[in-house]
Amino acid sequence: MENYEDFFTENFETATIKGELVTLRGIHETAEGPGSAENIFNAIEGSREFLNEHLPWIQETDIFDLQKRIRSWVLNERFGQGGCWLIFKNTPENSDGLFAGAIMAEINLRNHSATLSYWLTKPFTGQGLMTESVRLISKFAFEKLKLNRLELLVSVHNGKSAAVAMRCGFVEEGINRDFELINGKFVDHRRFSLLARDVY
């Protein structure tokens, strides 16, 4: 591929990705209904204590902070630096699905790689939704975007998130010491990776 940056720019978008359990939809500033900032905020409010354990930005987030965070992801997509997909659980009763969480990809164009991060609100954990979401994003990243490497960094205290990585075929590479300041304490993170050649 002679000019990967041009290829990526032409092909990158947070397109809707549908799976058996979930549908992933790109985040938008002006979305209404299930994908609106208000609905996302209400879901966070209902799981704030649960989410705060591993997501330091949750504790002080209000609707205005969330709107700024959404704008930043929209700009990241526009400049080819990353994307954020909202996770909706597929249900026969609701064609839009039920908002469950989000999955993000920060792009490193120079190295043809991306760092994934994700979260689910408490009512939707333990149902296989995140495992499928990570698999869908991985397939999109390798097949559509021709990335070479995906990376996940997971708190050493977050066994459930590490289990998602391993179920999706990610290989543990080591420990990033004092990687993140969470609730006033520096926390080590486990580093996982998945390469295109691991699956293709």
Contact by Cβ (8 Å): 170, 192: yes
**In 47-186, alpha helices (H):** 48-52, 63-78, 129-139, 159-167
pLDDT tens, residue by residue, 122-144: 999 999 999 999 999 999 999 99
User: For the stretch 65-95, what's the b/e string if a residue is b when 16 or more beta carbons lie within 10 angstroms of its beta carbon?
Assistant: ebeebbeebbebbeeebbbbbbbbbbeeeee
Q: What is the pLDDT of residue 183?
A: 83
Look up the CATH number of domain 4-150: 3.40.630.30
pLDDT surpasses 70 at 160: yes
**Position with higher pLDDT, 21 vs 54:** 21
Domain segments of the chain as ranges: 4-150
Which is more confident, 162 or 2?
A: 162
Phi-psi region of 91 (alpha: psi -120 to 50; beta: other; left: phi over 0): beta
pLDDT tens digits along 10-50: 889 998 999 999 999 999 988 888 899 999 999 999 999 99
What pLDDT band is residue 171 in, cutting at 50, 70 and 90?
Answer: very high
Mean pLDDT of 138-152: 96
**What pLDDT, on a 0 to 100 scale, did the predictor assign at position 44?**
93
For residue 152, pLDDT beyond 90 = yes
**How much is the average pLDDT of 186-200?**
95
Reply yes or no on whether the pLDDT at 1 is more than 60. Answer: no
DSSP annotation of 124: G
Judged by phi (left if over 0) then psi (alpha if -120 to 50, else beta), residue 22 lies in: beta
Q: Which is more confidently placed, 116 or 56?
A: 116
Q: What's the mean per-residue pLDDT of the chain? A: 93
d(CA 139, CA 166): 16
Percent of the chain, pLDDT > 90?
78
